[in-house]
Amino acid sequence: MHDLPRRRPARLEAILADADQAGFAMSCEDRTGSLLATLAASKPGGRLLELGTGAGAGAAWLTAGMDAGARLTTVETDPAVQAIARRHLGADPRIEFVTADADAWLTAAAPAGERYDFAYVDCRPGKYHRLDDLLALLAPGALYVVDDMLPQATWPGNHQPRVDGFFERLPEVANFRATPMRWASGLVVAAKV
């Protein structure tokens, strides 16, 4: 079985080229992206959230799966990196780009009462800490996806204990059905129940 996607988002090559030129090496890989597009397609008219826009590869995949009525809010702390995503995806009216620290965004989002149908978390907040705050923003049946759970060249030296702690806590999270996968960069796909 060939598990690489046969179709890639139209803007992905340009996003990855600009990310490489900017020295940004943390874009999601194609198998993860393909799964993101497939899962986004399961949420017609849904509200999607991405914590960690990066250069926009994940957002490109998510929007490739979204229908015309779906909306994506994508949050990134680094305006220079997010500028790549804005340049390539900014004309898509389904995307709201937020330049903010994900911790601060989670604090502000909780009182606003927003509920999301899907969350792709590609940064530390919402994954290694503040998981409960992120899950409080998800509607029942919402999907939650994290990647980079297998060792990566971009990991800092002290990162493995964070990953180990996440996996130790995962079975204890209430109202959450999760499946870790040793596939692509190492994924967890979960549903809020």
Quick: pLDDT tens for 68-85: 999 999 999 999 999 999
**3-class SS shares of the chain: helix, strand, coil, % to 5:** 35, 25, 40
147: CB partners within 8 A, 6+ apart: 28, 32, 122, 184, 185, 186, 187
> How far is C-alpha 30 from the chain's CA centre?
13
Query: Can you identify the CATH homologous superfamily of domain 12-192?
Result: Vaccinia Virus protein VP39 (3.40.50.150)
For residue 90, pLDDT over 80 is answered with yes
Is residue 86 within a helix (H) or strand (E), and if so which, with residue range?
Answer: helix 79-89
What does the DSSP assignment read for 95-110? EEEEES-HHHHHHHHH
Q: What single-letter DSSP state applies at residue 172?
A: G
Residue ranges of the domains in the chain? 12-192
CB 39 within 8 A of CB 70: no
Distance, in Å, from the CA atom of 51 to the CA atom of 120, rounded to the nearest integer, reads 6
Nearest CA-CA partner of 40 in 60, 54, 56 = 60
pLDDT over 70, % of the chain:
100
146-167: pLDDT as tens digits: 999 998 888 888 899 999 999 9
Bridge partners (DSSP) listed for residue 188:
146, 180
**Count of helices and strands (H, E) across the chain:** 7, 7
- Rounded Cα distance between 110 and 127, Å, is 16
pLDDT at residue 77 in the model: 96
Each residue's pLDDT tens digit, 113-153? 889 999 999 999 999 999 999 999 999 999 999 999 998 88
| Entry pTM | 0.94
Instruction: Give the angle subtended at the CA of 90 by the CAs of 59 and 111, to the nearest 5°.
Output: 70
Bigger pLDDT: 156 or 102? 102
